[in-house]
Amino acid sequence: MGQKSEDILSLFTKSEEILEMFRKGKAFTEELMAENERLRYRMVHMEADKMGLADTLQKEVERLRLENSQLSQKLDFMDNRFEQIESENKDFVQRYIEVEEQNESLANLYVASHHLHSTLDPEEVMQCIKEILINMVGSEEFGIFIVDDETNELLLAGSEGEIAQLFDKRNVKFGDGLEGMVAQSGEPFFTDDEGEDGNTCACIPLKVKERVIGVISIYRLLEHKRGLTTLDYKLLELLAGHAATALVSSKLYAMTDRKLKTIEGFMNLLRVR
């Protein structure tokens, strides 16, 4: 009987231990479930944060892409503007050089025209015109024709080179050839030719007001010239006016001087008698 009581007591003790283990197991399981729930909750929040962060990052990426596109457009605009400014600057420099050349040429023309009008000797006037055509315009071969008032034809009064010599000792009628047509119309003739093919480069009428008193015909340019420029056209037109006035003045002076000498000779002859 005593042995049975001990066995029952031992069995009861073991049952208590097992129950205690089950209680601890239950508590541990509950803790695990609670921790698992907490972790799941945390994971959900992390997923939400991750999605929010991804959305934020996506928006930031889109913003940076837009900003980059705008900066790229601004850069392209600045590059284009820089090229325009550089091109304008080159044009300005080229224009400045052209203006300087024009000013220098006009200054030289002023000096030449002053020298042209400073003499009344027909030979000196003709020589001055030749120097202007050679040094300022760059003419290598040319002819200077004067209208014969009696025949109303062109006479070769001065020349440079061999081509103009073909007109020597023969008259050119108004309307014949390029020189005659320019003398008849009173309008200048210009081409881009430099005279190497035998074509006339330019033919300019010498006019006093509307009256044509002669023409200048340029047949060949100097080797370094590749054609007449716009500045050359202006110089030739200005030269034509000054040359015409100087030629008429020197002609009138020569005629007056001859008449004066004739009168003086006649008066001296009367005094002798």
pLDDT tens, residue by residue, 18-57:
777 777 777 878 888 888 888 887 887 777 777 777 778 8
Q: How far is CA 267 from the centre of its chain?
A: 69
Q: Are residues 133 and 164 in the same domain?
A: yes
Distance (Å, whole) CA 257 – CA 263: 10
The HSE-up count of residue 238 (CA atoms within 13 Å, CB side) is: 21
18 domain residue, yes or no: no
38 domain residue, yes or no: no
Q: Are residues 104 and 230 in the same domain?
A: no
- Confidence class for position 187, pLDDT limits 50, 70, 90: very high
Q: Are residues 126 and 254 in the same domain?
A: yes
The HSE-up count of residue 209 (CA atoms within 13 Å, CB side) is: 1
143 domain residue, yes or no: yes
- Give the domain extent around 108: 44-118
- Confidence class for position 205, pLDDT limits 50, 70, 90: very high
271 domain residue, yes or no: no
Report how far apart the first and last C-alpha atoms of the chain are (Å, whole number).
Answer: 209
- Confidence class for position 231, pLDDT limits 50, 70, 90: confident
127 domain residue, yes or no: yes
User: Does residue 162 carry a pLDDT above 70?
Assistant: yes
188 domain residue, yes or no: yes
Q: Are residues 186 and 57 in the same domain?
A: no
Distance (Å, whole) CA 157 – CA 147: 9
Q: Are residues 147 and 77 in the same domain?
A: no
Choosing from 118, 140, 162, the residue where a domain stops is: 118
- What pLDDT does residue 145 have? 92
Q: Are residues 162 and 245 in the same domain?
A: yes
Q: Are residues 224 and 199 in the same domain?
A: yes
32 domain residue, yes or no: no
Choosing from 88, 118, 148, the residue where a domain stops is: 118
160 domain residue, yes or no: yes
Q: Are residues 182 and 247 in the same domain?
A: yes
Choosing from 62, 83, 118, the residue where a domain stops is: 118
Give how many domains the chain has, as a whole number.
2
Distance (Å, whole) CA 72 – CA 77: 8
The HSE-up count of residue 191 (CA atoms within 13 Å, CB side) is: 17
Q: Are residues 92 and 149 in the same domain?
A: no
Which CATH number is 217's domain given?
Answer: 3.30.450.40
Q: Which two tokens stand for residue 66?
A: 């837009």
- What pLDDT does residue 182 have? 93
